[in-house]
Amino acid sequence: MGAVDQATTGGHLARYDEALARDPMSAFGLVREWMRTDWRALFAELRERRPVFVTPAFTVVTRFADVVEVLSHEEVFTVRAFGPRLEAALDGPFMLSRDATPMNWREKGLMQVMLAPGDVAAVRELVGRVADEALDAAVARGRVEAVHELFRHVALEVCARYFGFPGPDPQTLSRWTRAVVTDGFANFQGDPEIQAASVAAGAEMTAHLRDRLAERRAALRAGQDPPDDVFARLVGTALPAATAVDDERIVANMAGLPLGFVESGPGAMVEAVEQLLLRPAVLAEAVEAAADPDPARFDAYVWEALRFNPFFKLLPRLCERDHVLAAGTPRRTVIPAGTFVLAAPASAMFDADVVTEPEEFRPDRPGHHRLFFGHGHHACLGVHPARAIVCEAVRRLLLRPGVRLLPPPEGEVVRSHGIFPDRFVLGLGQEGGER
Ligand code: HEM
């Protein structure tokens, strides 16, 4: 039975409406639980019957065209939904905490220059080497804990060697990003402890970066050759006074690199690998493609796998003024000012109006149907290196013989806050060889 049929008989909406009439808090809890565990069936039913799903707490936008519309109107649907949390951590503005300001335009442009698409081949090569070293170390044990031994390790090495931001040590950098990103994107109830942990981590991270920036400036003054990394490029860039960025802006943007990547990168890698391993026939094709000298053939499997469990399922926005969504169509809906809107790329990528046979695994889908990196004003800054990093880390893993899911509970992905993967043990090599 396809997801639409399941959804039609599944009756999520009937259960929601009944719970809402009886006890609104329980209705809210139901939707949150379904988003975590049963999102494909829930979204299928919503797309069909209530594509703009209005609840007392939030409104979910589920169709492809509507998700793109929300993300294309940054002055109406703003990041004020989470921006103040990021600003509390960074003690100042950042591109992902504001909309349509001169700072957005200037700093995104500057950082796009710093993350040059021409770096991608070398970054991919670096990731391949780091991943292979980690896998070599794991293979004798017949298993790998893919989150920390492999994917987060790769991400932290990219921060160190490409961004030029190793942190005091990988564990501390990892702790900082987790604390800030958890508050920004997973603290729906506004838990003050999570907020305080984020502010403390952000303060440590920015203080650390200020010290490293001072050291790098001193080294430049002493005539030392700078390392070849993004931090050095930023420090070495002298813009005309009218467009210059000061040291605080360099610190905020350097902090934004691991914040944008250390959770999302490993998150995407874990979800894609799990989806591939769940489909043995597809996996066999992907492994064959992994040996192709043209990486594009393999990469298409990673993106199609991720569609079946995207790391970013919902992108939160605050509606600043009344907006007519899907104007001129039967779905025309007024979104009132003040609405907390959740644009759902995870649902959009299953919208049959745009994505042909969405329930089928088809690696040949066109790139513009993929919304993994957002869309519009806040579309991912790191998209070029990130695409290569995610795919190469997954490729190196799948090139190893005998990669397999282990039976639950050991083989299950453990996710913190239901979002951030923390543990994913996989078998490697001959079956029965695990130690
Ligand atoms: C090199 C690695 C990465 C860096 C440096 C990075 C950095 C960023 C930054 C700074 C933004 C905000 C852009 C803006 O406000 O204009 C952003 C947005 C975004 N990134 Fe990335 N990112 C990386 C990897 C990833 C990965 C692996 C994913 C998921 C597969 C991802 C998904 C997104 C999404 C969905 C947004 C849009 C958020 C929104 O609209 O609310 N990023 N990224």
Ligand 1 centre from 23 Cα, in Å?
37
- Residues in Cβ contact with 342 at an 8 Å cutoff, skipping those fewer than 6 apart: 58, 59, 60, 61, 314, 315, 316, 317
Ligand 1 centre from 261 Cα, in Å?
7
In this structure, which residue's CA is closest to atom 37 in ligand 1? Answer: 374
Is the CB of residue 81 below 6 angstroms from any atom belonging to ligand 1?
no
pLDDT-flagged residues of the chain (< 70):
1-10, 433-435
Pairing relation of β-strands 59-61 and 340-343?
A: parallel
pTM: 0.96
Is the CB of residue 350 below 6 angstroms from any atom belonging to ligand 1?
no
Which one of 380, 383, 419 would you pick to mutate in the ligand 1 pocket, going by the greatest count of ligand atoms within 8 A of its CB? Answer: 380
In this structure, which residue's CA is closest to atom 12 in ligand 1? Answer: 96
396 by Cβ neighbours in 10 Å (0-12 / 13-18 / 19+) ranks as buried
pLDDT of residue 10: 64
Q: Residue holding tokens 């905020």?
A: 252
Is the CB of residue 165 below 6 angstroms from any atom belonging to ligand 1?
no
**Residue 94 phi/psi, 5° resolution?**
-150, 155
| Angstrom distance (rounded) from CA 397 to CA 201 | 32
- Residues in Cβ contact with 82 at an 8 Å cutoff, skipping those fewer than 6 apart: 97, 184, 185, 316
- Of 164, 386, 186, give the one whose Cα is nearest residue 266: 386
Q: Which CATH number applies to 51-427?
A: 1.10.630.10
